[in-house]
Amino acid sequence: MAPSVRLSPAARSLFDEPLAIAVQGLGPRQQVTLRASLRDETGELFQASARYQAGDDGQLDLARCPALPGGSFSGLEPMGLLWALQPQKPFWRLIKRDVQSPFLLQLEVLEGHGERPGRLLAQAQHERAFLRDGVRRVPVREGRIRATLFLPPGEDTFPGIIDIHGFGGGLSEPRASLLASHGFATLALAYYGFEDLPQQPKELHLEYFEEAVNYMLQHSQVKGPGVGLLGFSKGAEVCLAMAAFLKNITAVASLNAPIAATCIPFSYKDKVIPTVAIYEHKAKATNSKFLDYSDVIDDPFQAPGNQSRIPLEKAEAQFLFIVGQDDHIVKSEYYATEACKLLQAQGKGNFHILSYPGTGHCIDPPFFPLYPIGSHPVFHKRAVLGGELRAYSKAQVHAWSQVQAFFKKYL
Catalytically active residues are 233, 327, 361
* Strand 31-39 relative to strand 4-8, pairing: unpaired
Q: How many CA atoms lie within 13 A of 100 on its CB side?
A: 5
Angle value at C-alpha 349, between 348 and 351, nearest 5 degrees: 115
**Who's near 355: CB < 8 A, 6+ residues apart?**
323, 325, 333, 336
For the beta carbon of residue 11, count every other beta carbon within 10 angstroms. 9
Going by C-alpha positions, the residue among 376, 345, 344 that lies closest to residue 360 is 376
* C-alpha distances out from residue 307 to 235, 277, 298, Å: 20, 10, 11
Q: List the beta bridge partners of residue 298.
A: none
Based on its alpha-carbon atoms, the radius of gyration of the chain, rounded to whole angstroms, reads 22
Q: Which residues contact 282 (CB under 8 A, 6 or more apart)?
A: 295, 296
**DSSP string for 351-369:** EEEEEETTB-S--PSTTPP
Q: Measure the CA–CA gap between 177 and 174, rounded to whole angstroms.
A: 5
Q: Which residues 6+ apart lie within 8 Å of 101 measured at CB? A: none
Residues near 401 by beta carbon (within 8 Å), at least 6 away in sequence? none
Positive or negative, the CA dihedral 107, 112, 113, 115 is negative
In whole angstroms, what is the distance from residue 406 CA to residue 252 CA?
9
Amino acid at 69: P
Provide the β-strand partners of residue 7: 21
Measured distance CA(54)–CA(27) in Å, rounded: 7
